Structure 1
Amino acid sequence: MNPFSIRTRHFIILSFSFFLSLLSSNLHAQLPGQTGQRVLLPNGWWLSPAGNSVTLSTMPMNAALSPDEHFLAITHAGMDKPLVMLIDLKSHKVVQSIALKDSWLGITFHGDNLYVSGGNQNCVYTFNLKNGMLFPSDTLSFASPYPKASIFLAGLDVHHHTLAVVARGDSTLHYMNLVTKTKESIHLDGMPYTCKFLDNGLLLVSLWSAHKAELYQGTHKIAQFETGNHPTDIALTKDDNTAYIANANDNSVTEINLKTKHVTATICTSLYPDSPEGSTPDAVCITPDGKFVLAANADNNSLTVMQRTEHGAKPVGFIPVGWYPTKVLVTKDGTILVLNGKGNRSFPNADHQYIGTMLNGTLSFIHFPGTKQLETYTKAVYANIPYKPREMKQSIVEKDNPIPYRVGQPSPIKYVFYVIKENRTYDQVFGDMKEGNGDSTLVLFGKQVTPNIHHIASQYVLLDNLYANAEISAQGHNWSTAAYCTDYVEKSWPSNYAGRGALYEFEGGQPAASPSGGYIWNLCQKHGITFRDYGEFVESNPDITKPNTAMEKILKTHFDPMYRGWDLDYSDVERYQEWNRDFTNLLAKNAVPHFNIIRLPNDHTAGTRKGSLTPQAMVAQNDYAVGLLVDRISHSPIWKESAIFIIEDDSQNGADHVDAHRTEGLVISPYVKRNAVDHTLYTTASMMRTMELILGLPPMSQYDAAAMPMFNSFTMTPDFTPYNVEKPLIDLNAKNQVGAYGQTLMEHFDLTHADRVPDLIFDEIVWRSIKGTDMPAPRFSILSGPDGDDE
């Protein structure tokens, strides 16, 4: 019996009434977690993975089948120790885990020999598979290990006695003769992702930072192919006539005729044509019989099934999988194997687990579906994904609200101020507010430390069901400015945070990290909305008297150069003073931009570092700066037409009893309800969507398009009463005592840049500096490695 038995029936058409039923999804008061047969993620999207799964370590990224398909070798590149895991495909059990100093993406079997990319160790590890176990056989070096060199090896392949491996750190391609160990290399035209040999020895390379793939004969480029943005994984037909390349940043797969050397098709992998970015196809494979192509949509948590025809591959349906799939393979017996980079759900971290090591990946086993089963799976995928095309122009209909439900409709709000802070959970700050769903035992920065934030939440709206889309700050500053995080950021941050050598290049300056459509400032410019930036995507000058540097070209004429970005030695109150100077000048000229983005980062704290302010003093300064800013705007002439949105970029530096993504946020405006609690499930993308609707801007990604706008927090009956700042209740200049807990360790931590401290240790230092008691023992994820680096 042929396991691949879908009848020739192009794209499954679902009824209009079915689509309408999906639009009625109500997120009021829903909490993340298991609900019936599905799981609600903290981002408001649903999971209902097909098949069965096995738990892996963090961020499983790639896999290779043994020649007899008895075993699957999986490489991991998450926050935990890099691993190669060997899975017995008959028993569905992990039979071996081998720790590596580093690993990133590249893995392939050549006979019984397994080759694994060593990432910033700048080597390729080789193993021999014998009697169901892997035995190390060699380490093939291409440069000195980090930090002496950082070529950062990625995808690889082997043909006869030749190993080819691409290096993302310096955009090079390397060959090694496995017999003589001689090497040669060339520079490429962009940052590579992976490479695949054809049977004739030609090598196809995908260029991650470009829109192209290149075909090489040795070191000579013989052809170039235009692809979509962020070309990643490559699949070749058995006859090498056709290649398929997944394009992560524009929801597509490129089909290439390698005989004629022409691109023959671009196939949409998203649920709807012309969807904005947000499907993120980052892996592709061909079934053994050559009849189907499968693409893994990382941010849609699904597979697109495409049927190959003489006119090209055509989508015929979707399969629901786990959270953020990174690899898909199909065995000869018709089993679909899927690596889910973030597993099957999110979790609370009331026991102080670190979010970066909580999300263990999974391996899914799915029987290749027939036509009826694929129809069922397709309906499930549509039900799981809240994005619908209509939401590009309008949101869920909510009349009589100052937040327009349709893009371009008028709003009484004309000025938006968007404040991004650093890393706090809801329970750490608001756990003492009885009106909301808090856990007072987890409070570190309660009302005594944050009187303004508490007063604002009480006077306006307490948001107790608000979640950061991000796990950590590298993602967070992208989600907070683009409502999206590219696969480059998702797959690169763990190497940086775990101290394995990757650069922190996630807040401007690295084109590969940028979404196709850019950030909120690009959107404003495109639609004629005035904007100004204060500290976001800004590199601080070591000399505080000199201008700082905007990391995105577009910001260079739209930012306050004297407003500092990340710098924990510079007070948030001083940041407020600089903002106020600039705001006052603009106000006098009637030139206040309609969109203002303001970074106030010091609630991150400097722990117990000698000479630094105490964690409570730093958070109290941050609170005072927030209070001063709200006070100033609310006493200004534009208050009647203003709204202030405040959120943490992520919630990684603390515990929360509902979900590790739950975070602190505020909305302030004459049009915000008073003395209210809003239990609606909101996200970073919800806040972005709300601001976009106010400004008449369309969504940037599927995530802000699908997000629930904050209608329930607003009212058409304004209250123009201004806010009066609360004076600090503790000493804003209190410094850490000599010998404070963790101070010796803090001397070794780098706080000059974001995301450079071991997060779990840092959290305990902050906890004990305030509580004076032992932090509850954290629960580590499977095969936990060193504590995670982060802000």
Structure 2
Amino acid sequence: MRRLPLFLSAIFFALITQGQQRQTYTVLSVPGVAAYTHIDTTGASILPSGRFCTPAGQTITLTHDPFGMAVSPDGATTVTIHDGVFTIINNSTLANIRVPSYDGSIRSPLSGSSFLGVAFLPDSKTVYLSGGDNGAVIGYDLTTLQRIDSLSLNGHNPSDTVDYEDSFTSDLLYNADNNELLVLDRGNFRLVRIDLATKKITASIPTGRQPFGLAISPDHKIVFEANVGMYDYPLLPDITPANYNNKVIPFHPYGDNTPESKNGYTFNGRKIPGVGDPLAPEAMSVYAIDLATNTITDRYKPGHQIGQMVEGAEVVGGASPNSLAVGSNFAYVTNATNDNISVIDYRNHRIAATIPIHVDPVIDRYRGLLPFGLTLSKDEKTLYVALLGFNAIAVIDLPTGKTTGLIPTGWGPTRVLLSRDEKHLYVISCRGYGAGPNGGQHFVRPIQGTYIGDIQLGTYQKIVTPDSTQLALYTRQAIANTFAKTSVTDDGRNPLPPLQHIRKSPIEYIVYITKENRTYDEVLGQMPTGKGDSTLARFGIDVNLIAKDKTLVHMNIAPNHLKVARQFTYSDNYYCDSDASIHGHHWMLGVIPNEWVEANSSVDKTAKIFSKASGRRFPGSTGSMDPEDYAERGGLWEALDRSHISFYNFGEANETAHVREEWMDTATGASHAVMVPMQKALWPRTSHNYAGFNTNIPDQFRMEQFESEFTKMWLDGKHKMPRLITMQVPNDHTARPRPADGYPFIHSYVADNDIAVGRILHFLSRTPYWKKMLVIITEDDPQGGVDHIDAHRSILMMAGPYVKRGYTSHVHANFGSILKTIYTIFDVPYVNQYDATATLLQDFFTDKPDFRPYDLIFPSTEVFDPQVAMKRYNKTIDWRKIEKGPEMDDEKEQRKEHYQQQKQGLN
């Protein structure tokens, strides 16, 4: 047999091998993978997540973020409650009145705050509303549009001697049997009974932590309340208003669910109190209260419990039981974190069953439905559940415990109710159709304003209760709105495989950088290869700055951002799922914000850490994840920890709602008086010498910290760089001008941030790790800016040897896409539905690496002078050293290694 020439044999073998490597895989993706976000109220809107939005029934828009709803006893009227606003809706015509009106002709009875609670009296014209932060209950006449009552929860009552203060009104309901209001006070962790005849408080009954949801049995004898709080967070025992600034500590005191968090410990001679057991009866529970005796008869712990093994993973987050519906024998509670419903047999004082909500076998193993409001049919056979995370109402057949179908809603449904005759469903969604553009040449400013939280309206739907045929159609639509199955052919070359565990990526290290509050157009709108509006590019290059006493022309604000976009790969079709930082840091770190985060982020609230009302020490979530926010399986940190992937954190997760953030808080950016744990997996892997969010601290100071610690640990030290580094450089958030500190314009903060981004890439690309590195740069939210495509559109850039050079991606991307990239490269299982169904960003990558480093450039010094910003720290930046970069190799060590290898015959 004749043999092929050697070079032809090699080619033939390569072709065979390549053919063998080409395999087709089925992956999940959002349906809007090739589309830009837009609103189409007559068809399908495309949300920042890449999902479609096609609300069923008749739909109108409302003020943003409705989280409470009640239907009048006569069925004619619905009232929805927002923060400081409520809407009166005619259920027949869907005509509606906003209180207060935009033109000021209808005044608000509220004092700027309201939260969850709205209840009708039997006359169908009088409603009582939760006053939220001011601790009041407000009575209002819907016919005269006038306030008729204001009842404070503060003070004392005959049933006890406590003088309550700093109450925070949460959910409420009307109890006709006693002509009374039942009101939850999340400030003082109690249920308050108010007699409407005398306008007096008749009882205060202790509840669990952060009481949230309220319902009453049909016989009006038992009231049920759901507690979303995990801990009663303690104040440092030796701290007072007088010594506060000297006694705060510069870091979270411990990881959650550790011996230290349970029992406390001693630090530098000081007692650091623990927060106790996360499984305490008061934590994430449902209480049953006998109204005849004002006593708690049962404390239930619904859902999956922390430490339990569920589907092969340990539960790290509480169930977050939040809303209730009560029948003649059973109470039903939504467990947002677990995607299930607990069935409480309250006659026999037990949890009788757990009903998992199933939507499709392909994604049922992932969490992310986030069940919130629910309602029960009169025959007690059907439960309707608002799925905050899935943009649908789940219909559950109670006799079988099966999910029989889904009904499409707006973005983020919060409440669902049945009409009196049960012919219609009423649904509210907090984000409606999304935001749409909030600037640009053809943009017309709407009456509500252009801030992302204002322009993004909620929705109210009136839906004919579907029969089985219509429900089947709705179900198919709801699933098609959410994800699609896509075939991907893999030739073995792309550094981002289509799925985990197929093959090893050449990328071994990822640096995940988050910045703050910018949209695409205002930074990258000048890029000619992207879909931008250059007139909005106030933070670009060659821009003019006009201040009260100074005008600067042809200034470069963010030249590194534009250079990175040109030199590597960026997206012009990337969106933050978040509106603000409260949501953003949850989304970007792999935790879908639950009902507590969403509702609490939309309400005005005041921290009062020295108050007797312990709920005021924890007013609610911020940019960090608190124990109330944890997902069942956690997020990015826990996923990496389970898979034994090393990671380290610079600056994330060190902010709570009550911290001090001054220029001297450089250890972590914040100082703490109230003890709130950090995620257990993260606490030992977080730097205590890197300033997180705090715009009083220059990003240049952070860079000095980062470069020093990186060099000490992973260049000069004995350990290799961790597989993942997360870091926060937040000063593009901007703040008021501070000329004396080097920030004469708000643009100065962006310029500071731009140098930091350039420094990071300049530094990293001169380390030995660069050859196998991917750098991901994004924003946690877009709330500070404007964009002509959508207010959620933001910045996504990737850099590294395996990233395409000079490439612009037009494929849809969001936080889920970033996490999917990280999980896939590291062979880590997806955590939630948003990861699993996100767009696969293979178009960002190349199999032909380019190892050239990045070279830092500088914004205009008239806008930002780093030396001035560092003056108060008595630090001078050594730019020659920075431009040189870290020492790549030690010459003596390299010489020694060279000769050692020769001796061993390796050269």
CA contact (8 A) 2:30 2:51 kept: no
Aligned to 1:577: 704
Q: Give the structure 1 partner of residue 61 of structure 2.
A: 55
Instruction: Render the CA deviation track for 1:227-271: whole Å, top value 9, x for unaligned.
Output: 22111121122xx21211112222112222222222222222241
Indicate how the Cα distance of structure 1 residues 97 and 692 shifts in structure 2: closer, same or farther if over 3 A, else same.
same
Residues 492-539 of structure 1: CA distance to partner in whole angstroms, max 9, x if unpaired? Answer: 112248999983632347321332322322222222111111111125
State the alpha-carbon separation in 1 of the partners of residues 207 and 350 from structure 2. Answer: 20
Q: Distance in 1 between matches of 2:489 and 2:66?
A: 36
Which residue of structure 2 aligns with residue 664 of structure 1?
795
Partner of 2:472: 375
**Counterpart of 1:655?**
786
Equivalence for 1:624: 755
Quote the residue 2:184 is aligned against.
166
Q: Please say if 1:605 is aligned against 2:734.
A: yes
Point out the more displaced range, 579-588 or 490-499: 490-499
Three-state SS of the structure 2 residue aligned to 1:223 is strand
The answer to whether the aligner puts 1:205 opposite 2:313 as a matched pair is no
Q: What letter matches 1:221 in structure 2? A: I
2:263 alignment counterpart: none
1:96–1:558 CA distance, 2 compared to 1 (3 A): closer
**1:34 alignment partner, one of 20, 40, 46:** 40
TM-score after normalising by structure 2: 0.73
Match for residue 302 of structure 2 among 222, 227, 233: 227
Aligned ranges 1:233-244 → 2 under 5 Å? 233-237=323-327, 240-244=328-332
Choose from 723, 738, 744 the match for 2:854.
723
Give the distance between the partners of 2:72 and 2:588, measured in 1 at CA: 42
How far apart, CA to CA, are the structure 1 residues paired with 2:526 and 2:625?
40
> Match of 1:5?
none
Task: Verify the 8 A CA contact 1:417 1:644 in the aligned structure 2.
Answer: yes
Q: How does 1:249-288 map to 2 (within 5 A)?
A: 249-272=337-360, 274-288=364-378
CA distance in 1 between counterparts of 2:47 and 2:598 reads: 17
Residue equivalent to 1:464: 572
Structure 2 counterpart of 1:308: 398
One-letter identity of the residue aligned with 1:716: D
* Cα contact 1:302–1:321 (8 A) shared by 2: yes
Deviation, 1:474, is 1.0
Matched, 1:68 2:81: no
CA deviation digits over 1:14-37, x for unaligned, max 9? xxxxx9898694613544343983
Aligned with 2:343: secondary structure?
Answer: strand
**Map of 2:493 onto structure 1:** 400
Distance 1:569 1:109, change over 3 A: closer
Structure 2 counterparts to residues 342-491 of structure 1, below 5 A: 342-350=431-439, 353-386=450-483, 399-408=492-501, 409-447=503-541, 448-491=556-599
- Counterpart residue type for residue 195 of structure 2: N
Amino acid at match of 1:64: A
CA distance in 1 between partners of 2:220 and 2:806 (Å)? 72
Q: 2:345, 2:699 → 1: CA distance?
A: 57
Report the Cα distance in structure 2 between the residues aligned to 1:581 and 1:206, rounded to whole angstroms: 48
Distance 2:605 2:842 in 1: 37
Question: 3-state DSSP class of the match of 1:475?
Answer: helix
Look up the equivalent residue of 1:362 and give its one-letter code. Answer: T
SS in 1 for 2:711: helix
- Classify the secondary structure of the residue corresponding to 2:494: coil
Alignment match, 1:155: 171
Greater Cα shift, 397-406 or 189-198: 397-406
Letter in structure 2 aligned against 1:552: M
* CA contact 1:425–1:651 (8 Å) conserved in 2: yes
The yes-or-no answer on 1:126 pairing with 2:132 is no
Q: 1:183 to 1:35 in 2, by over 3 A?
A: closer
1:631 and 1:724 in contact (8 A); partners too: yes
The answer on whether the counterparts of 1:293 and 1:313 sit within 8 Å (CA) in structure 2 is: no
Moved more, 325-334 or 167-176: 167-176
Aligned to 1:516: 632
Partner in structure 1 of residue 828 of structure 2: 697
Contact 1:478 1:506 in 2 (8 A): no
Size of the aligned set, in residue pairs, is: 702
The answer on whether the counterparts of 1:541 and 1:547 sit within 8 Å (CA) in structure 2 is: no
SS in 2 for 1:653: coil
536-545 vs 313-322, which moves further: 536-545
Q: Confirm or deny: 8 A CA contact 1:477 1:507 kept in the other structure.
A: yes
| Cα offset, 1:483, TM superposition | 4.5
Q: Is the 8 A contact 2:510 2:724 kept in 1?
A: yes
Cα separation, partners in 2 of 1:429 and 1:508, compared to 1, 3 Å:
closer
Distance 2:748 2:427 in 1: 47
Aligned residue for 1:672, secondary structure, equals coil
- State how far apart, in whole Å, the 2-side matches of 1:128 and 1:639 are: 67
Question: Deviation of residue 339 (structure 1)?
Answer: 0.7
The separation in 2 between residues aligned to 1:605 and 1:200, in whole angstroms, is 53
Decide whether aligned partners of structure 1 residues 504 and 398 sit closer, same or farther in structure 2, where only a CA change above 3 A counts. Answer: farther
- Structure 1: state its 5+ residue gaps: 1-18, 738-791
Is the CA contact 2:409–2:429 (under 8 Å) kept in the aligned structure 1? yes
Cα deviation code 1:439-458 (max 9, x no counterpart)? 11001111322221111110
Q: What is the TM-score normalised by the length of structure 1?
A: 0.83
Q: Distance in 2 between matches of 1:241 and 1:600?
A: 54
Residues 291 and 398 of structure 1: is their aligned pair in 2 closer, same or farther, counting only changes over 3 Å? farther
Q: Describe the shift of the 1:156–1:581 C-alpha distance in structure 2 as closer, same or farther (beyond 3 A).
A: same
Taking a change above 3 Å as real, the CA distance of residues 383 and 545 of structure 1, as seen in their structure-2 partners, is: closer
Residue 288 (structure 2) aligns with: 215
Output the CA distance in 1 between the equivalents of 2:777 and 2:770: 16
Uncovered stretches (5+) of structure 2, i.e. residues with no partner: 1-24, 101-107, 156-163, 230-282, 304-318, 542-555, 609-615, 869-907
What is the SS of the residue equivalent to 2:632? coil
Whole-angstrom CA distance in 2 between matches of 1:605 and 1:32: 28
- Measure the CA separation in 1 of the matches of 2:195 and 2:488: 58
User: What is the one-letter code of the residue matched to 1:152?
Assistant: F
- Say if 1:651 and 1:660, in contact at 8 Å, map to a contact too: yes
Any conservation in 2 of the 1:158–1:197 contact (CA below 8 Å)?
A: no
Aligned mates of 2:30, 2:412 — CA distance in 1 = 25
Tell me, in whole angstroms, the C-alpha distance in 2 between the residues paired with 1:32 and 1:183: 52
| 8 Å contact from structure 1 (residues 483, 703) kept in 2 | no
Of the three residues 90, 93, 96, the one matched with 2:95 is 93
Secondary structure, aligned partner of 1:293:
strand
| 2:377–2:422 contact (8 Å) kept in structure 1 | no
| Alpha-carbon distance in 2 for matches of 1:166, 1:704 | 36
Rounded to whole Å, the distance in 2 between the matches of 1:621 and 1:699 is: 35
Map residues 100-111 of structure 1 onto 2, 5 A cutoff. 100-101=110-111, 102-111=113-122
In the alignment, the residues of structure 2 paired with residue 380 and residue 414 of structure 1 have an alpha-carbon distance, to the nearest angstrom, of 40
Residue aligned with 1:570, SS:
coil
Distance 1:727 1:641 in 2: 27
- How far apart are the structure 1 equivalents of 2:201 and 2:41? 57
CA gap 1:721/1:20 in 2 versus in 1, 3 angstroms: closer
Closer, same or farther: CA 363–443 of 1 in aligned 2, 3 Å: same
The secondary structure found in structure 2 opposite 1:720 is: coil
Aligned counterpart, 2:215: 196
Compute the RMSD of aligned alpha carbons.
2.9
